């Protein structure tokens, strides 16, 4: 009955962000005097096809159905279709009663619902949203934290033990789960919905990142020469493109040759900004990456990060590598290769779009070949 009263609206205010993102809102319109907009965050979906795909997403459809159910409940109860009544059902407090730190986010005392609504309404990248949804799913599966009153130090410790139970998650990964949950727990505490932040009574090891193993130039050439099935070939080509430009997966998927490159001499350079951080980068397109572009008529193939990593694991087996191949290893490979050829670290930082050179120095720590080469050149000096 109310399906037509609830719909998605893209870029209502016609104000895309500097990164090209547009806002997505749910419009609730049940009468001339009752129209409400609820933010779902931002997206890069700008074409009709992309917006249709976004609208068809399971999580978005569940969100729409939730508000259809609210309107149907109001109708069944014989309530007047007003903004005040709608807000009451959504758990939204009138603005005049909000404290400085409170915001009008729907909740019903259920932490899972609050965290879900918060994630869906935040203006964050879709990749970040997906990671937070994964964390939320883990809480749902854990099952002991649902209501605000379940947010106790005892339950947080139990959640930590549950995350470690099967041994598949390292300390760094588990710390990431806690970091994301802690953010929303702090929100609940600051609004006065719980008396104490349980994370103030609980500590957990943050661990250390495992040393990444980038590919060498020899391994990259061997990968290029592989005769692969179509989908594996696309994953390989995307990897090679990133390994010879330094672009992260999301930036490569957003790459547009016509608008993001400039030619200087006989080489092309990519001049853009990172989706993840917004920082600018300027990086060359080395010949192997240019070969990939030519193969696809300068339009890189589209492949989800998960599928790409699945195919890369198959390629890893074909190459008999003792390295865990993922899309991000391509970026690491680029950094280590150009550093190994004595490109100044400041230039490498600019190529990668690092805001802080200390981030780039992480790659420099694993350059054993460079240490050996420099040691050999100094051997005669220190006789």
Q: Which CATH number fits the domain that encloses residue 230?
A: 1.10.443.10
pLDDT band at 179 (very low <50, low <70, confident <90, very high): very high
Tokens 């205010």 belong to which residue? 13
* pLDDT of res. 33: 55
Q: What is the mean pLDDT of residues 145-156?
A: 93
Q: Is 382 domain-assigned?
A: no
**294, 267: one domain:** yes
* pLDDT of res. 95: 44
**115, 68: one domain:** no
Cα gap 336→368, rounded to integer Å: 10
Q: Which of these three, 38, 61, 90, is where a domain ends?
A: 90
Report the alpha-carbon angle 320-321-323, nearest 5. Answer: 150
* pTM (2 d.p.): 0.52
Token representation of residue 183? 């953010």
In angstroms and rounded to an integer, the radius of gyration of the C-alpha atoms of the chain is 25
Q: Domain containing 132 — which CATH number?
A: 1.10.150.130
**64, 36: one domain:** yes
Local structure of 237: helix, strand or coil: helix
Entry field: residues in the chain: 383
Cα gap 280→257, rounded to integer Å: 16
Comparing CA positions, the residue from 276, 275, 267, 272 lying closest to residue 244 is 267
Helix residue spans in 171-216 (DSSP H): 171-190
261-264/34-43 β-pairing: unpaired
Q: What are φ and ψ of residue 297, in 5° steps?
A: 55, 35
pLDDT band at 31 (very low <50, low <70, confident <90, very high): low
Q: Is 383 domain-assigned?
A: no
**338, 229: one domain:** yes
Q: Is 50 exceeded by the pLDDT of residue 285? A: yes
First CA to last CA distance, the chain: 89
Each residue's pLDDT tens digit, 75-100:
777 777 776 777 777 665 544 444 43
Higher pLDDT, 190 or 30: 190
**110: DSSP letter:** B
Cα gap 222→51, rounded to integer Å: 40
* pLDDT of res. 183: 92
Each residue's pLDDT tens digit, 101-118:
444 434 567 899 889 888
22-31/34-43 β-pairing: antiparallel
Contact 131, 180 (CB under 8 A): yes
* pLDDT of res. 103: 43
Comparing CA positions, the residue from 249, 160, 245 lying closest to residue 199 is 160
Which residues is 271 bridged to in the sheet?
282
* pLDDT of res. 45: 76
**261, 318: one domain:** yes
Whole-number percent of the chain with pLDDT over 70: 85
Q: What is the mean pLDDT of the chain?
A: 83
Sheet holding 6-10, edge to edge: 6-10, 22-31, 34-43
Cα gap 38→382, rounded to integer Å: 70
Q: What is the mean pLDDT of residues 43-55?
A: 82
- The domain in which residue 291 lies consists of 217-377
Tally the domains of the chain.
Answer: 3
């Amino acid at each position: 009955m109310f399906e037509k009263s609830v719909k998605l609206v893209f870029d209502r205010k016609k104000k895309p962000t500097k990164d090209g993102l547009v806002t997505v809102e749910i419009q609730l319109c049940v009468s001339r005097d009752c129209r409400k907009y609820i933010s779902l965050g931002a997206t890069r979906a700008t074409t009709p096809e992309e917006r249709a795909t976004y609208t068809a997403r399971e999580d978005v459809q569940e969100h729409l159905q939730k508000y259809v159910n609210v309107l149907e409940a109001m109708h069944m109860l014989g309530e007047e279709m007003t903004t005040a009544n709608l807000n009451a059902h959504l758990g939204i407090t009138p603005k005049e009663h909000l404290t400085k730190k409170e915001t009008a986010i729907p909740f019903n005392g259920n932490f899972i619902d609050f965290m879900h609504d918060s994630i869906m309404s935040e203006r964050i990248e879709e990749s970040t949203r997906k990671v937070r949804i994964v964390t939320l799913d883990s809480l749902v599966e854990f099952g002991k934290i649902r209501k605000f009153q379940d947010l106790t130090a005892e339950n947080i410790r139990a959640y930590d033990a549950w995350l470690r139970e099967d041994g598949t998650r390292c300390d760094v990964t588990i710390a990431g789960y806690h970091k994301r949950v802690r953010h929303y727990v702090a929100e609940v505490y600051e609004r006065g919905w719980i008396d104490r932040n349980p994370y103030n009574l609980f500590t957990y090891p943050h661990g250390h990142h495992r040393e990444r193993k980038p590919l060498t130039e020899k391994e990259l050439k061997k990968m290029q020469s592989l005769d692969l099935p179509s989908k594996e070939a696309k994953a390989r080509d995307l990897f090679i493109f990133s390994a010879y430009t330094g672009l992260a997966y999301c930036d490569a998927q957003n790459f547009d040759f016509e608008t993001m490159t400039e030619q200087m001499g006989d080489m092309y350079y990519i001049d853009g900004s990172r989706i993840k951080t917004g920082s600018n980068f300027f990086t060359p397109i080395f010949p192997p990456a240019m070969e990939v572009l030519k193969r696809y008529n300068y339009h890189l193939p589209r492949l989800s990060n998960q599928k790409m990593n699945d195919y890369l694991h198959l390629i890893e087996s074909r190459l008999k590598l003792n390295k865990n191949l993922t899309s991000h290893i391509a970026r690491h490979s680029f950094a280590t290769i150009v550093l190994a050829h004595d490109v100044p670290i400041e230039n490498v930082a600019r190529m990668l779009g690092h805001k802080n050179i200390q981030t780039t120095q992480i790659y420099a720590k694993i350059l054993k070949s460079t240490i050996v080469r420099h040691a050999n050149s100094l051997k005669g000096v220190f006789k």
